[in-house]
Every structure is written in structure tokens, then in C-alpha cells.
Amino acid sequence: MFKLLTKATIFSAVAMGVSACSIVPASSSSSPKIEVGDLQVNPDIRLRYMVYRPAHAKGTVLFLHGFPETMYAWKPIAESLSSEYEVHAFDWPGYGQSSRPGADRFSYAPKDYARVLQDYIRASGIDSSKLVIYATDIGALPALLAALEQPDIAREIIVGDFAPFNRPQYMYGSLQGLKAKPSSDAVHAAMNRNRDEILANTFFRGMSAEERYSLRQEFRDDMAKGWGGDVTSADAFYHYYSWFTRDQDHFEANMANLKVPVKIVWGEQDMYIKKEMGLEYANRNGVKLTILPKLGHYPHLQAPEQTVAEVQAAFSAGSNPTSD
């Protein structure tokens, strides 16, 4: 049975910067409440977000997507976890339906994404002591940078399939090309020309027909719809990479100061960022690394049940993972 939105509810949503019309009531009193809306987290950035709220949450998980994804990448996983946990996801600036200001106002650098993450946690009222952050690809370094600045940002951070260090030899050719001019300009232009090919094949590149997995049409449509405007998703990715080496070097120089427990998961067959990157991070920092057999760069899409299990383990094992 649908619940009616009261005037008080609408006023509260507007006061927080949330689009009141986007609050989706639960289908029954026992189902999690689902919210899909917009949240103004700072003067320049408005984020589209998705939240699943059960009646009695054991904790909160925040999922951070990569390129060329949107928050809808996490929807099947959110549905699986939402009976026990409050689940959040949002579109990074430049992706989906979030803000995409010009690069003169927002750099799209990992450090700036880290501040957006901090702003979202604060503006949405998340209790960091009960929060697990799960971040992949371009979302992972910002999560770790935010943890350097705010040691109590979460009880645990799970990261994977990303580049914490400036090690181009572990990265796919086009990603190497984005790290410096003049090659970055050529890669950038090619990405904008080839939007449809990227959205169709990025998730399956290098796989046989038998290894390909299904993606919800809703997610596919959302990525295509969100790749547009004055700043495309490829533009945001290009700007991110223009600052990537600087922010990787900053993280490498300061990673020993991290206080938040970190766990690493990695697709064994990741062709975009090789597992050796994860091995170096784990070995140098003494953190737990799980290599996921037969999975590629997007384990959360290829085997979402694995991601569900990782999140559940983070809450059941406490906040002190140890090295294998």
C-alpha cells in the first residue's frame, strides 16, 4: 500500500535540497523505503542519489561507481542488501544526472571528488561509525583521499580495480594515454566520438561470447542519457586523468597515515588495471586482498552476489580486517 507524502515530508525534503517529487514510497510497510532524488551538497554540485532505507538497518553502505557507469550500476546489489542495510549510491559529477560544471569551476580531480564524497556524507546525515564505503575504478582513490583528510569517515573502506599509484605499466593503453598531453587530447576526442561503442563494449572487452554477462536495460539507458550536455562523461574522465598523477603521488606519499581499515578486491582478469596494482598496494600496506577468479574490471556487475557477500562480511567481521 502506497503512503502519501505529507506537507511536512515535502517541506523537509526541500529544506535538505532534495527533490521532494522523487521520493518513491515503499510498496508495503515491510519493504525498504526507496528515495531517488537530488541533493545540493555544495554551491556548485548537485548530486542525483539513490537510497534504500529498511525499517531497522544494521548499518549503512555507500557505493561509488566508476567510468562509464552511473549509480544504477548498484541497483541489483542495493536491492539484495536493502532488507538489512541502508544503501546509498550517487552519480559522480559529470555522470548520470548529477551536476557537470565547467572545468573552470570544478576540476573533476580525484581530490575534488573526495570533497564531494565528504559533502555527500555530511549532507545526507550518514553516521560514519556505521558506514562501509565500497568504491571501484575512479571512485576508489577519492574514497581513500577523503579518508586521509577525515580519519573517521567510515568504519571500513572496500576498494578495487583502480590505480592508487602512478604505474602506467599496469594500465590499459588508452588509460596510459590519458595521463599526459598530447596523447590525452587524442584519446579524449576519440572517446567522445565513440560513445556508443564504449557503452556497448567497455564491460565485455576481451571476453568470449560465453563470458559476457547481462546488464539491465535501465542501466544501459541511464548511461547513454547521462553522457551529454556541455561536459560529457568522457570530458569528466579526461579532466580526472589530467590531475590523476598529482593525486596518486599525494596518496602514495601519505598512505601510511590512513586510519580507516581498508580491504581490496580485484578481478583476476582485469585488463584495464592489472591485479599487480592491487598486489603492490596490499603488500606495502599490510591489508587484505581478495583476487576474484575469472572476473574482470567490473566484478560488481559480473558477479553481484560476490559484492553482496563482501559487504555483509565487512559488517559481520567488525572493522579490523587483517592481511591474509
CB contact set of 92 (below 8 Å; sequence gap of 6+): 64, 65, 98, 113, 116, 138, 139, 236
**pLDDT at residue number 64:** 99
> Of 40-54, 57-71, 308-322, which gets the smallest average pLDDT?
308-322
Full DSSP string of 119-171: HHHHHTT--GGGEEEEEEGGGHHHHHHHHHH-TTS-SEEEEESS-SS--GGGB
Domains belonging to the chain, first-starting first, are 32-316 (3.40.50.1820)
* Furthest-apart CA atoms within the chain: distance in Å: 58
How would you label 85-114 residue by residue, b for 16+ Cβ within 10 Å and e otherwise? bbbbbbbbbbbbbbbbbebeebebbbbbbb
C-alpha cell at 241: 586523468
Asked if 6 contacts 18 with a C-beta cutoff of 8 angstroms, the reply is no
Full DSSP string of 284-312: HHT-EEEEETT--S-HHHH-HHHHHHHHH
User: How high is the mean pLDDT of the chain?
Assistant: 91
In this predicted structure, the answer to whether residue 1 has a pLDDT above a threshold of 70 is no
Q: Write out pLDDT tens, residues 233-288.
A: 999 999 999 999 999 999 999 999 999 999 999 999 999 999 999 999 999 999 99
Angle at 286 between CA 283 and CA 292, to 5 degrees: 65
Percent of the chain with pLDDT over 90: 88
**pLDDT at residue number 12:** 36
In this predicted structure, the answer to whether residue 320 has a pLDDT above a threshold of 80 is no
Amino acid letter for position 82: S
In this predicted structure, the answer to whether residue 162 has a pLDDT above a threshold of 50 is yes
**pLDDT at residue number 136:** 98
